[in-house]
Amino acid sequence: MTASQKIAILSVYDKTGLLDLAKGLIKNNVRLLASGGTAKLIREAGFDVEDVSAITKAPEMLSGRVKTLHPAVHAGILARNLESDEKDLADQNINKVDYVVCNLYPFKDTVAKINVTIPEAVEEIDIGGVTLIRAAAKNHTRVTILSDPNDYASFLQELDSGDVSDSSRQNYALKAFEHTADYDAAISDFFRKQYAGNGAQQLSLRYGANPHQKPASAFMRNGQLPFKVLGGSPGYINLLDCLNAWPLVKELKQALGLPAAASFKHVSPAGAAIGVPLSEKEQKVYMVDDIDGIGQSALAQAYARARGADRMSSFGDVIALSDKVDVPTAKIISREVSDGVIAPDYEPAALEILKKKKGGKYLVLAIDENYEPASQETRTVYGVTLTQGRNDVKITPSGTFSSIIRPKDSPALSEAALRDLTVATLAVKYTQSNSVAYAFNGQIVGLGAGQQSRIHCTRLAGDKADNWWMRFHERTLGIQWAKGVKRPEKSNAIDMLCSGQVPPQSEFEVKDYERNFAEGQVPEPFSAQERRDWLSQLSGVAVSSDAFFPFVDNVYRAARSGVKYIAAPTGSQNDGAVFDTAENLGITFIEQSTRLFHH
């Protein structure tokens, strides 16, 4: 070869466009070196090509596993335009390599084969090709690496015009690193499934979001999973709920210093609360007045509130608890329809109660309370990878709600108001947007999640808050139940009564509703005036929104449910009208300066 002749090394699994590329390289006076089947195909097409052994002076060996792993190859690729590198090459009589064309056998295809064995998979792990690609991509300021046959045509156009541009080499290098990263990910995924079957790093799930979405798994690329399975078998949605619910209760405990609980359904809280003592009336409303020891367990009180605020939405929930689970809390869980629980620890007696639930299939997870997730989050949607910084903003009573917008002469917020604003704001942080939360006495009493319009969130949450308050009416508390009526049926009947859905319209629905009550004891529906009179007694409710209130209709709706405090980000063009309306209605409007969308 001449001193000025450039060199290309070719070693490809996907031979699409290879002969056109070889023809174009030769046209530009590039010396071709190739290995194995790549060299064979080029040679049989009548093009000039040399085996890589022409520069390594060593034959392919170990059944082709060693072909390009040699200083003559990699020094030629990695050499920079430096005097010291030039001297090293001259001393060893090695020529620079200018172009590397390489792609890898798709390891995913290997492991997708039925009953593939570990030795069979291992045999397909490429060493030399990966090394070629990485070496060329590392030195892309000088060397062009082509790992995608779709780039051959544009590469040749540039080569025909004189040289490959810096921007093209940079783009090819990025593709090359992504190619090897995807390849390595497929290998690690295979071996994770083979060797990490104890659940420490990889956990097989029953299925994905739906039963037909198989296989499904949870895993950590670095380190171990931050939870252990003590009972049952998790599903995909179970873990989504658990891993959203746990940070909510952890942050509630950190912010307010009391045990916290959350009832999660479909990646949003149905309820969340801290362990504020329960009155006798609250115990009855939340159906826990017969739980021994509830007065001494702040954690049980927290879960009674979280579950009791919206029993309909909590049906089949996943539970998150901030503290070691005690027996009173486990007893509440044991008799409710629920799919699982996540907590840092369990008393032995409590764990035994939970492990008997659902015939031993109830999901029980123990989370490492010291675990801190990475600062960057990644997810894949429709084949597209998205990444963002984790929402690690801290919500605290002292630092988050200090800026009162209206009234300007408003006194400092009370401890109760700060507590409830904190509960509401942390709830919307972990609720599918748009979201609005109503809080009272340390618990969520109404939550609107995932609505496209904020007023619909506010209405939905307000309606739930009204429903919650109607359950404290003496008519609701005085219901006489028919013998054998189960807790879910009671919850459904109470919901119908308190939400104004009775009397039902069809005779079949009437019979289905009335069979829940003792003979002759069907409760009278609430009249519109009775509802207004009772709801007017609720006051001091706090509302938080994950983004600004753009219109005054939100404020009017909130006021009808006893709201006295609203916290929301500002920045809407209509802020002035919203602030004025709040002040006119006797509501304190507090700026919460961080938008908290959650998806």
Domain extents for the chain?
7-194, 227-367, 394-473+528-598, 478-525
Where the chain has pLDDT below 70, the residues are 1-3, 197-199
The 588-591 sheet, strands edge to edge: 227-231, 363-367, 338-343, 317-321, 260-265, 268-274, 443-449, 435-440, 541-545, 563-568, 588-591, 403-406
Q: Residues 309-333: pLDDT tens digits?
A: 999 999 999 999 999 999 999 999 9
pLDDT in tens, 236-265: 999 999 999 999 999 999 999 999 999 999
Active-site option among 23, 266, 324, 355: 266
Which one is catalytic: 138, 175, 228, 355? 138
Burial of residue 44, with CB atoms counted within 10 A of its CB: 0-12 exposed, 13-18 middle, 19 or more buried: exposed
Note the pLDDT of residue 506.
Answer: 84
Considering the entire predicted model, what is its pTM? 0.86
- The candidate with the shortest Cα–Cα distance to 416, out of 580, 541, 235, is 541
Q: Please indicate whether residue 266 is annotated as part of the active site.
A: yes
End-to-end CA distance of the chain: 60
pLDDT of residue 355: 95
Known catalytic residue at 464: no
Which residues are within 8 A (CB) of 319 and not within 5 positions of it... i.e. 6 or more apart? 245, 261, 262, 263, 264, 303, 306, 307, 333, 338, 340, 341, 342
Residue 65: what pLDDT?
A: 78
Mode of pairing for the β-strands spanning 376-381 and 384-389: antiparallel
pLDDT value at residue 238? 94
Residue type, 243: L
pLDDT at residue 3 in the model: 57
Q: What is the pLDDT of residue 176?
A: 96
Q: Count of H helices and E strands in the chain?
A: 25, 21
Q: Which amino acid is at 64?
A: G
What is the signed CA dihedral for 94, 95, 100, 102, rounded to 10 degrees? -30
Residue found by looking up tokens 């590392």 in the block: 138
